[in-house]
């Protein structure tokens, strides 16, 4: 089985229905937060990573650390959900090769540079939610939070919210 496998229409509908209901997801470019995740959670302010003067290494660092954390929280044959709001979504295995797109990013980027990008464990035990307009990344689930504390990305210095 390969990596970055597209959701079927049925999977997409069911998973997004659950995201909307479980997280009370209400997409907005101005009203924040746009979702409510279960505790424990941490939301990081990443606004300092937008703009032209940003050191590009912080994006690579985020990719490397996120992939490491996803691997630590999955078994070798486990797939997680990679969601791009109102676009194609995928099942992806952190232990397999992560293909890149024409912008040299993952098929669904880890940095929310234009849309909501979510990476969620298949049973919704943990997740990583990127918000492009709030310029934030929210992590929920004790295991994922602990792993990101062990492998903290350079851009995770300012906590916006936690619970």
Neighbour-count burial of 97, counting CB atoms closer than 10 A to its CB (0-12 exposed, 13-18 middle, 19+ buried)? exposed
- Structural domain contains residue 32: no
- Asked whether the predicted pLDDT for residue 126 surpasses 50, the reply is yes
- Structural domain contains residue 87: yes
Higher-confidence residue of 136 and 114: namely 136
Question: How many domains, in total, are found in the chain?
Answer: 1
Q: Which residues pair with 159 in a beta bridge?
A: 44
Q: Which domain holds residue 69?
A: 5-27+37-162
Work out the pLDDT band at 149, boundaries 50, 70, 90. Answer: very high
Residue 20: its pLDDT value, please?
98
Mean pLDDT of the chain: 95
Work out the pLDDT band at 107, boundaries 50, 70, 90. Answer: very high
This prediction's pTM: 0.95
DSSP letter for each residue of the chain = --SSEEPPHHHHHHHHHHHHHHTT----SSSS----PPSSEEEEE-GGG-STTS-THHHHHHHHHHHHHHHHTS-TT--EEEEETTS--EEE-TTS---B-TTSSBSS-SS-SSS-EEEE-TTSSSEEEEETTTTEEEEESHHHHHHHHHT--TT--EEEEE-
Residue 1: its pLDDT value, please?
47
pLDDT in tens, 32-78: 999 999 999 999 999 999 988 788 899 999 999 999 999 999 999 99
- Asked whether the predicted pLDDT for residue 102 surpasses 90, the reply is no
Residue 100: its pLDDT value, please?
85
Residue 2: its pLDDT value, please?
67
Q: Which residue has the tokens 């929920």?
A: 140
């Amino acid at each position: 089985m390969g990596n970055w496998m597209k959701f079927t229409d049925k999977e997409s509908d069911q998973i997004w229905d659950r995201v909307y209901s479980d997280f009370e997801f209400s997409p907005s470019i101005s009203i924040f937060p746009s979702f409510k995740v279960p505790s424990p959670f941490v939301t990081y302010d990443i606004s300092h990573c937008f703009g032209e003067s940003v050191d590009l290494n912080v994006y690579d660092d985020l990719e490397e650390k996120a992939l490491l954390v996803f691997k630590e929280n999955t078994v070798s044959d486990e797939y997680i959900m990679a969601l791009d709001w109102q676009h194609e979504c995928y099942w992806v295995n952190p232990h397999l090769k992560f293909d890149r797109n024409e912008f040299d990013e993952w098929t669904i980027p880890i940095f929310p540079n234009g849309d909501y990008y979510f990476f969620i464990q298949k049973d919704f035990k943990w997740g990583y939610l990127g918000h492009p307009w709030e310029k934030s990344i929210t992590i929920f689930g004790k295991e994922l939070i602990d792993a990101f504390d062990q492998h903290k990305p350079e851009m995770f210095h300012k906590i916006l919210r936690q619970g």
